[in-house]
Amino acid sequence: MNMQSSTTLPFTSASTCRILIVEDEFIIANDLQIILKTAGYPVIGIAKSVANALTLIDQQRPDVVLLDIYLKGVETGIDLAKQLKEINIPFIYISANDNQRVLEAVKATEPSGYIVKPFREKDVLTALEISRYRHSHSVEMKLREEKALQLALIDALSETVSWEKKMLTAARLLQDHIPFDFLNIRHQHQATTQQFNFYRVGFDEYQALSVQDIQQMSSSRINAQTILPAAELFNGPMRYSGEGFGVFCRQDSFMQLLVKGFRLESALALPLSMGNGDRFLMTFLSRTSEHYQTNHQELLERLEQPLLLTLERVLAYEEIARLSEKLKQENTYLQEEVKALVNFDEIVGKSESLVEVFNLVTQVAPTDTTVLIMGESGTGKELIARAIHNRSSRKDKILVKINCATLPANLIESELFGHEKGAFTGAHEQRIGKFELANGGTIFLDEIGELPLELQAKLLRVLQEKEIERVGGKAQIKTDVRVIAATNRDLEIEVVEGRFRMDLYYRLATFPVILPPLRERMVDIPLLAQFFAQKLARKQGKPFVGFSEAVFQELMNYTWPGNIRELENVIEQAIILNNGQTPLVLGRPLGKSLFALNPISAHQQHKTMGKNYEQLKFSIPKDLPEMKQMQQENEREYILAILNQTNGRIRGAGGAAELLNLKPTTLEYRMEKMGIRKVLTVQPPNS
């Protein structure tokens, strides 16, 4: 039965105040009826026993009950009063002077009045008037209080603070109306359950407990599932005590844990089902049995809609914020991807070892298996990672690359897993990490060997549980991400030397792909050189007329410590120096090319050096005279190549001076200084 909840006050005039008389003495009941009717009160009936009264109450719900204590049958007026209190119907006792014990029991039922027999008409009407006034007043007060509670709850839930803070404020507000020793709030979103537990430890003091805390405090081995009991088990807010409480707990292993740890005896549960399929379950728990009464349950019934709407709005708002953050990050990614995609899938090579890699890629790509790509710097690990992603069912989703070597150690965790607002100094906003960004797609963890040890443990957990936890967050977020990792370190050595976790190594190396260094697949060099020359000439808007003969020999005689990236750089330099009409010659001696007049970025230079730095550093020009000498050698080669192309002709249209954009006299002067004789024996091109 609902408490009167309309805004007009109940029975403000006598004619709207319907009265039930519960009295077994006919004469008294009759007297009462006459008095009441004369004063304009409708009397709905006269009951002689409690059972009789309950039937009438059920059928006609009176506004006030006039009640004798001693009635027919075993039950007394005091027994009925307890029930009237529960359903919020005011009552006035009409009884003879009683002993102290009975009076104490009467007081405990909180009656609206007490009239001593024999009574006068005036006594009855005054008592009724006072009762009407008090009751209207208390209903009005209750409505006001309830409205204030509703607004305060909406405010608390809408605040931009963590969910734990929102829930704690809500718990505090509710305590005054629905007292609890323990409040458990669970939110189930798809397969993830987030929960909040507040244990009351003082007047307005609560301890927020995690599931682990509770497990420890209960010293229980119950393997508690935090998942919510089925929605069908609830039909609006429900109260549980005694045997019913036992049944309620048996349906929910987490409740069993709470009951064991905190000696709880009764519960009041409010289930909320959102339009998007999310579910909340708010369970108030008390150490007192039968603690929750109809009025508590009815309050929750009235709060159900406002709470549901507020939670739906807050969740929708969060979802929009999350999606727009994801979109923002995806955009940044896609912009970077556009650059990376230019070359996508142009994996050049026909060496046996590379074909073996292709076979592995074809096998593993369609599965969701974690892949570990190993190989020296510049061997094409990223290219292979992209090829795996693009041949998988995730190809239409994002591939997120993260370089573990270039991130500052203190930011890697937040980069990978995201953070909650206020998780650390500077975390002004909630931010999703790369794992969440990659949801549904692939994450490429480059230079995995550089990942700090403590994060290795967290990564392992993600690979095993497929769940992440944002920095400063408590919720486990389910992710569906395929992981591809790459390294140029020997991870087995890293494991032996204690820098890499063995369990993570085995987990990553479920499917290892080893990329051979370029020096072990020399047959690919001419193909790669040709491919890069064409691609880079196109990029620079120059024609490419082929390689000069010596070039391939030079390329094949070199050991390529920087692998394919180094080869690409060497060809790029040659293209820059080439005029687009003569066959390509190498810009400078191999091994010296990396640091002189090299257009590659500092970052690439650093990457190219990789672990082969020891080998490379001997090729770096030692000082300025040496660099100058290298530059002169290059210039000499270049002039010779042009003269070769013009058959030694310096002047006139199409002559070397014109092609070099120099005055003929200047060219002749330079040739003389470089010891190039004017009469040249030149070979015709392509001979």
> According to the binding rule CB under 6 A, does residue 349 interact with ligand ATP?
yes
> According to the binding rule CB under 6 A, does residue 521 interact with ligand ATP?
no
- SS3 string, 408-436, reads CHHHHHHHHHEECCCCCCCCCCCEECHHH
Nearer to ligand ATP, 82 or 611 (CB): 611
Nearer to ligand ATP, 401 or 592 (CB): 401
Instruction: Give least dist CB 347 to ligand ATP, A.
Output: 4
User: Considering only CA atoms, which of 436, 364, 367 is closest in space to residue 402?
Assistant: 436
Binding mask 326-345 for ligand ATP (x = CB under 6 A): -----------------x--
Site for ligand ATP in 381-420 (CB under 6 A): 381-383
Binding mask 535-564 for ligand ATP (x = CB under 6 A): -----------------------------x
Number of residues this chain uses to bind ligand ATP (CB under 6 A): 22
Among 184, 193, 286, 488, which residue sits at the site for ligand ATP (rule: CB under 6 A)? 488
Nearer to ligand ATP, 111 or 449 (CB): 449
Instruction: Give least dist CB 186 to ligand ATP, A.
Output: 44
Instruction: Give least dist CB 633 to ligand ATP, A.
Output: 27
Task: Give one DSSP letter per residue of 514-538, joined into a string.
Answer: EPPPGGG-TTHHHHHHHHHHHHHHH
Beta strand residue intervals within 62-109, DSSP E: 64-67, 91-95
Nearer to ligand ATP, 154 or 347 (CB): 347
Look up tokens 């349950």; give the residue.
Answer: 297
Based on C-alpha coordinates, what's the Rg of the chain?
Answer: 43
Stretch that binds ligand ATP, among 59-67, 105-113, 375-383, 578-586 (CB under 6 A): 375-383
Binding mask 427-466 for ligand ATP (x = CB under 6 A): -------------------x--------------------
Instruction: Give least dist CB 197 to ligand ATP, A.
Output: 46
Binding mask 568-607 for ligand ATP (x = CB under 6 A): x--------------------------------------x
Give residues with Cβ within 8 angstroms of 185, minimum separation 6.
Answer: 167, 171, 195, 196, 197, 280, 281, 282, 283
Q: Which residue is nearest to ligand ATP (CB)?
A: 380
User: Considering only CA atoms, which of 112, 88, 110, 91 is closest in space to residue 3?
Assistant: 88
Instruction: Give least dist CB 567 to ligand ATP, A.
Output: 8
CB 11 within 8 A of CB 136: yes
> According to the binding rule CB under 6 A, does residue 517 interact with ligand ATP?
no
Beta bridge partners of 184: 197, 283
Nearer to ligand ATP, 370 or 530 (CB): 530
CB 659 within 8 A of CB 653: no
Identify the DSSP state of 15. G
CB 478 within 8 A of CB 192: yes
* Residue 342: how many other CB atoms lie within 10 Å: 9
Cis peptide before 111 (omega within 30 of 0): no
Among 77, 90, 113, 380, which residue sits at the site for ligand ATP (rule: CB under 6 A)? 380
User: Considering only CA atoms, which of 223, 151, 142, 229 is closest in space to residue 177?
Assistant: 142
Residues near ligand ATP (CB under 6 A) are 343, 346-349, 375, 377-383, 446, 486, 488, 528, 564-565, 568, 607, 610
